[in-house]
Each structure stands twice: as C-alpha cells, then as structure tokens.
Structure 1
Amino acid sequence: MINPNSSDKTQLDALISHGMSYRQTNNNLSESYKEQRQSFLLKRLQLQAQIILIAGLTLITFFLWVNSQLEGKIYAFKIGLVVELFTLLCWGLCKTPIGRRYPDLIFLSLCWSVTCAVQIDIALLFNNLEPRSHIWTLMFLTQATIIPVQWWMHLISQLGTILCYLTLYILYSPILKNPSAFYIEQGLYFFWTCIICVFSVYLYERLRKKEFYARKAMELAQHKSERLLLNILPEIIAEQLKQQPATIADNFLEVTVIFADIVGFTELSSHTSPAELVELLNTIFCLFDQLAERHGVEKIKTIGDAYMAVAGLPNQSNNHAPAIANMALDMQNAIATFNKENNQSFSIRIGISTGPVVAGVIGLKKFAYDLWGDTVNIASRMESHGIAGSIQVCEATYQLLKDKYLLEKRGLIQVKGKGEMMTYILKGISLKN
C-alpha cells in the first residue's frame, strides 16, 4: 500500500525504477495533475461567472428599486452594467483557446471585475470612495469555495484589490471621513478574511494533490500486479480468475504442444558459476519468449533447461501446427545466432505433438496455467527421444504439416507408456509454398 503522506514523486519514481511498464512516467503524472487542475479551474470559473451574473442582476434590480431618484437609478445601472459585461466577457473567454491557455488571468479578471471595477466606477462617478469590504469578503469567500486551487492566485487577487483601493483612496479621498476605528475594523475583517481564504485553499489543494498522486501510485501498483499476473497466466484466464476465483479447466480438442531442451546445459552447470549459468539460460529463454509472441504461441512454463509452449489455446486456432513448426525452426536459428555471438556450442532437441489436452489453473497459491493429457506426454517423449539439433514430431503433427513443410521419416521408436510410434524430423518449409 502506498503511503500518501510520504513523498509522492519519490514513491512513483521508485515504482517506475523497479521495471514497471506504464504509459506515464513521473513527469507525465505531474503534467496530468496540472491538466486536471486546469480543467477543474476552467469549469469552476464558468460556474463562478454564472453566479456573478445572477447575483449582479439581483443587485441591479435591488438598487433600481430602492433608489427613488432617477440619477441614482442611472448610476446603479451603469455600475452593474460594467460588472455584468466584464463578467460575461470572462465567461465567454473560458470557452476559447485563450481561456484554456490563460485561466489564471480570467480568475483575476473575474475577481477584480467585482472588487476593483466597482471601486473604480464609484470613484469616477462620485469622486469619493469608502471601503466596500462586504463586497470583497463575499467575492473572496466565493472564490475560495468554488475555485479552491492555486492559493497564490487568491493572494494576488486580494493584494490587487487592496492596492487598487489604496491608490483610488489617495486620489479621491485624501481625508478620512470616518473615525480611524472604522478603517481599522474594516482592515481587520479584510485581513482575516484573506488569511482564512488563502490558507483554506492551500490546505485543500495540498490534500487534493496528495490524493491525486496516491491514486496514481495505486493505479501504477495495480497495473504492475496485472502485468505480473499476465506474465504467469494468459490474459483470458487472468480475467476469468479475477471474476471467478475458482478452479479453471477447459478441454481443447486439438492443439499443438512443443518441448525444447538445451542439449549439454546440465554438463555446463558443473563448471560454470550459478550467476553466469542463470544469465545464459535467461538470455536463451527470453529469445524463445519473443518467438512465442511473434508466432502467437502461448508459453506454458520452463522446467530446468526445458521450454514448453502450446498453440491453439486459450484462443482456439486452426493454424496451431504451422505456428509451432515455424517457432521451432526459428528457435534453431536463434540458438545458432546465440552461439555465434556468445562463443557457445549449444544445440536444442525439440519434440512436437498434436492432439487434445486439458488446460487450466489449479491450487490456491502460486497459480500456474498448465496442460494435461497424452498430447503433452507424447510431446515430452518426442523431445526426450529425439536427436540433438533436430525437431521430432509425431504422426498427428506430421499429417497437419506434410503439405507445406519438409519432413523426413525417422521411423518407429519405442516410447515409454505408448509402445512403438512413427516419428518424423521437421527440416524446414517446403519451397513449393
């Protein structure tokens, strides 16, 4: 479990550095958070603009109603109209590329359209100015509630408002018209409103960011566990196991199984260090894994220095025998290339058999997808009774390959538990095809 209270980026880097394959690196995750925050910001800015428009209409209606003089009605209408038009412009910009690129400017514009624009209008119309802290408080609390992101932007909007007011006050009201206690009281209300708004936004976004990275870390961890599961089980079987955690077993009427054994590897282990031995085996089996993926073959397991795979399951296919034959021929070429590049002299003995199998997952721990049946046993015997450097196939496989591949009859061999069996050696692909 990822601890959201520790360093988010460090944890994600650690997950990625441990070999996790995922679409996003830590830097991309950071970008994703910024994109998510920007999308959130734009949606909330539109919502705030709508609220300001509705609130403005109610205030304009109220002032038009309470002002008995025509001049007062005109002033109220002018001030309200300026704010409404400015707000409408900001709302429209939110839906344009400019708004998507510069949402911070729209945030400040929305704030100052209510706080600064009103002060400027009053100063110009009445040549006088008094604090409108109730309007400022309402605006800042609204923004902190609706748009609780980027605390520094809230701080800039507040500082801009007070700077605008002080500048206008010096220009239009150099003499205090109210007792100093009045201004101190207004200043204290304004100060604590700003502090509470900025601090609450800071705490909210900090929590939101931690939750975002914790969620992404959990997604990465889940993806890693799924990738590990898919390295053990076929994708279809893994999905079945997640949905129904019970014994999984299926009958397949015809598949082709391959066993490959590295000749001489056991002798090599007696005079080679364990680390070097495992490295060699891992390199070879990784080559086989790539071939299995290329030919649509399902790797089943490795047993020591033996490699087992099957074609025709869990997704049934009619070309299972050619797929295994092509893979077997490529395995021979891969070993030859490996020997040349690593100064080795390995050869592989391959056995192939075609027929019905039972496939499934059993047990409670260390799940493994495995095969059972005579087809598996015969493929194993084809390998163990085969010739080093050759690909031996049974009669059933021969019948499926004989028209498109070159096969040489080896003859009858004694197979444990089966008696005498006719076998063939796969040489290559027929030139007629």
Structure 2
Amino acid sequence: MIHPNNSDKTQLDALISHGMSHRQTNNNLAEFYKEQRQSFMLKRLQLQAQIMLVAGLTLITFFSWTNSQVEGKIYAFKIGIVVELFTLLCWGLCKTPIGRRYPDLIFLSLCWAVTCVVQIDIALLFNSLEPRNNIWTLMFLTQATIIPVQWWMHLISQIGTIICYLTLYILYNPTLKNPSAFYGEQGLYFFWTCTICVFSVYLYERLRQKEFYARKAMELAQQKSEMLLLNILPEMIAEQLKQQPTTIADSFLEVTVLFADIVGFTELSTRTSPAALVELLNTIFCLFDQLAERHGVEKIKTIGDAYMAVAGLPNQSNTHAPTIANMALDMQTAIATFNEENNQSFCIRIGISTGPVVAGVIGLKKFAYDLWGDTVNTASRMESHGIAGSIQVCEATYQLLKDKYLLEKRGLIKVKGKGEMMTYLLKGIN
C-alpha cells in the first residue's frame, strides 16, 4: 500500500493558502502520487533485494550439496555468487542518490540478475539454452507481489528476459532434445503467468491511485473546512469546540478592546453603487485583518463599517495594551496610504478600553466568538464619543501606555450610560 509521507500536510496547506485552481491542484496531487510511488518502490526494492540474498544463499547451498560432481558444485557456486554480488550491488544502490533517482533501473536489474544473468552463465558454462521457466516464473511472481506498481516495468522485465533468451538462442543455435516440452505446454504456462502478473499489478495500481486521490480529496476538504472554522473562531477555541462541543465561556481579568469606525462611510453609501461600496469596505477591512495578524490581535467581528478587535485573549498576554496601541496607529497609517492610492478621503475614529471581559461562543447556526462586559461597552463609547481621525483611550488604558506612548489629555467628557469619564488621545510612540 502506498502511504503518504510527512510533508503531505504542508503541501496541502500550500495548495489551499495559494488558492490554486482545480487543474493546478490535480497536477500537484499527481506529483505527490508520483513521489510517493517512487518512495514506496524504493523501499520495496530493498526488501526484495534482502529476500533475494537469503533465497540465493539457500539455493547455492542446495545445489552445491545435491550435485554429485565437484565440477558441478563449483559451477553452481560461481553462478550463485555472481547473482548474489549483483543483488548486493542493487541493494546498496537503493540507498544512494542514484537509486532514489532511478528506481526503475534497479527494478529491472534485480529481475534480470536472476533471469538473464543466470541464463547467460549457464549458456557460457554448459552451452545449454533451455528456458528456465521455473526461475523466471518465481522472479516475476516475486516482483508482482512485493512491488505492485508500474505495471509497464513488469512487462519490460518480462520482454527483456525473452529477448535475452532469443539472442542467446540465435548465437548458439542449440539442438534441443525435446523442443515441444519447452515451447509447448511450459510456454503456455509462462505466457499466462506473465499476463496475470502484469494485469494484477495494473489493477492494484489503479485501485491505490483512486484511493490516494480520494484520501487527498478528503484531506483537502478537511483542511478547507478547518480554515473556514479558523476564519470564524480563534484556533484555541476551534480546537476546544471540535473536541468538546459544549458551551464555551471564559473570563479574562484584563484585556484591551478596540473599536474602529470609518467616518462618513454611511453617507458615502447613499451615492455609491452597492458593488463599489462593498469593494471599498472589503479592501479596508482586509488591510485591518492583515494588521491584526501581524500584531497578534484577535479580530472579533465587523458591524457595518465598524471593526472590533481584542488583544490578551484567548491566549493571555501582559502586552495587550501596547499591542492594540500599535495596531491602532498602524490602522491610521493604512487608511492614509489607502486614501493616497485610491484618491479617497476616509478617516477612522478609534476607541480603546482595558479591563475584564467574558468571551464565548454563542448560537447554533452562524455561531460567533464574542465578548461581553463593561470593558466592551466602554471601548464602544470611546469610539462613538471620539474625534474623527483620532484614537481615544480610557483611564485604564492610559495607565498602561503613558510611559512609552505619546498621549494627550482630552479631559472629562460625558459618556452615555457612563457619566463623566477622563479620556486621552493616543498620538504616537514616545
């Protein structure tokens, strides 16, 4: 059976991440299958060589022991040693770059070391050219059983054996005592043995190829579904949900939440086509997503033209406030670059708050990972009560940023549902 190697998952991830077309994916899977088939063939060639070495020793011992003539024993020993040395050479080559690059040649060499080399040795020593059907049949059956791949190589090895015999026959032109015994019934048996070997390898390889593609298609589908799940949930939460599909809710003592809103986008929607509007919003939010991934920030959701993200969960961190601050500053830079490249005049209003939250997954359909708590409400108020083009932070966030960032005191502002709050505007890194 052809088993996948350890790099398959990485290769499949590459296929998905690069968004390859169906044809490209099939071409790459064909390359994977070819590589695996070669690796499988190389391992089985080593196994076959080991079996042949052991079998050769038993045959040398048998013929040397049973032959009554000393000269016959010497000849049997010489022929056996030649085959053993040839087999040992092929075994060694399997472990070299040559063997890894040309396993087909080793396949043929192992076969012909028994079928052709033995025939040549016997012809030279005894001037005998009777077809060695028993040796040939044993060799072809062995290879069809141990190495059931590349049916055409099995066919070539069989044809090569016959060509070798016919060449020797033409050179020596021997007189056979009973040619019908060799070319009649035995020849028919030999023909059907070869046919069955090649056909069985062909069927086996087709079956394994279909199994390979079916397995890869399933793995590819699984990888895609996991990627879709990771686009909805953080990786840790996704794994937890797969292993234990129950209610997921966690409390975090201190995280930093960010809300960002594109100023004037609602008014723009009244004079812009839906397709153009969605394309603009998608481009901007994709820029924010890239920043979130770069800074290690967890995107929570988008609501209309508002963007919500958090740092410090689900993987807790002591640098959540600076992380969000850096992302907020980069978001302003990204919007400025976007405006310059697309001849637009967007600006964003950002609000940041630090404190405890509860996070969890809710819903049965179109479920989402969300946050709850006063910190979330405060971050939302920091954004909605902020100044266009500015980053407004609450007192708790200010205390964590004041040593390393430039912050301007805005003063007390009246916040809906919160009363008066002291707020600050983040200007940059100190």
Question: So what's the TM-score if we normalise by structure 2?
Answer: 0.92
- Cα offset, 1:105, TM superposition: 1.5
Q: Secondary structure at the match of 1:5?
A: coil
Residues in 2 aligned to 1:13 and 1:401: alpha-carbon distance in whole angstroms? 39
CA deviation vs aligned residue, 1:263-296 (integer Å, no higher than 9, x gap): 1111111111111000000011111112222222
Bigger CA drift: 185-194 or 170-179? 170-179
Q: Which runs of 5+ in 1 are unaligned?
A: none
Q: 1:17 to 1:194 in 2, by over 3 A?
A: farther
Which stretches of structure 1, 4 residues or more, deviate above 6 A after TM superposition?
A: 1-15, 20-24
Q: 1:14 to 1:233 in 2, by over 3 A?
A: closer
Tell me, yes or no, if the aligned pair for 2:2 and 2:37 is still in contact at 8 Å: no
CA deviation vs aligned residue, 1:283-316 (integer Å, no higher than 9, x gap): 1111111222222211110000000011111121
Residues in 2 aligned to 1:73 and 1:82: alpha-carbon distance in whole angstroms? 14
Residues in 2 aligned to 1:363 and 1:21: alpha-carbon distance in whole angstroms? 34
Q: 1:19 to 1:92 in 2, by over 3 A?
A: closer
Q: Secondary structure at the match of 1:25?
A: helix
Residues in 1 aligned to 2:7 and 2:291: alpha-carbon distance in whole angstroms? 41
CA deviation vs aligned residue, 1:209-246 (integer Å, no higher than 9, x gap): 22222222222222222221111111111121122211
Residues in 1 aligned to 2:127 and 2:19: alpha-carbon distance in whole angstroms? 69
CA deviation vs aligned residue, 1:378-424 (integer Å, no higher than 9, x gap): 11111112222222221211222222223222232222222222222
- Cα offset, 1:15, TM superposition: 7.9
Q: 1:274 to 1:420 in 2, by over 3 A?
A: same
CA deviation vs aligned residue, 1:46-81 (integer Å, no higher than 9, x gap): 211121222222222222222222222222222222
Q: 1:95 to 1:189 in 2, by over 3 A?
A: same
Bigger CA drift: 414-423 or 152-161? 414-423
Could you say which residue in structure 2 is the equivalent of 1:75?
75
Bigger CA drift: 154-163 or 53-62? 53-62
CA deviation vs aligned residue, 1:294-343 (integer Å, no higher than 9, x gap): 22211110000000011111121222112212222222222222222222
Bigger CA drift: 210-219 or 261-270? 210-219
- Cα offset, 1:97, TM superposition: 2.3
- Cα offset, 1:261, TM superposition: 0.8
Q: 1:7 to 1:291 in 2, by over 3 A?
A: closer
Q: Secondary structure at the match of 1:149?
A: coil
- Cα offset, 1:37, TM superposition: 1.6
Residues in 1 aligned to 2:345 and 2:257: alpha-carbon distance in whole angstroms? 26
Q: Secondary structure at the match of 2:302?
A: strand
Tell me, yes or no, if the aligned pair for 1:3 and 1:214 is still in contact at 8 Å: no
Tell me, yes or no, if the aligned pair for 1:20 and 1:224 is still in contact at 8 Å: no
Tell me, yes or no, if the aligned pair for 2:13 and 2:223 is still in contact at 8 Å: no
Q: Secondary structure at the match of 2:270?
A: helix
Identical residues among aligned pairs (%): 90
CA deviation vs aligned residue, 1:165-214 (integer Å, no higher than 9, x gap): 11222333443421536412222111111111111111111222222222
Paired residues in the alignment total 430
Q: Secondary structure at the match of 1:271?
A: coil
Tell me, yes or no, if the aligned pair for 1:13 and 1:26 is still in contact at 8 Å: no
CA deviation vs aligned residue, 1:6-50 (integer Å, no higher than 9, x gap): 999999999859936999955443333222222211221121112
Q: Which runs of 5+ in 2 are unaligned?
A: none
Bigger CA drift: 126-135 or 54-63? 54-63
Residues in 2 aligned to 1:21 and 1:314: alpha-carbon distance in whole angstroms? 34
Q: 1:23 to 1:170 in 2, by over 3 A?
A: closer
Q: 1:372 to 1:345 in 2, by over 3 A?
A: same
Tell me, yes or no, if the aligned pair for 1:144 and 1:201 is still in contact at 8 Å: yes
Bigger CA drift: 268-277 or 331-340? 331-340
Bigger CA drift: 281-290 or 30-39? 30-39
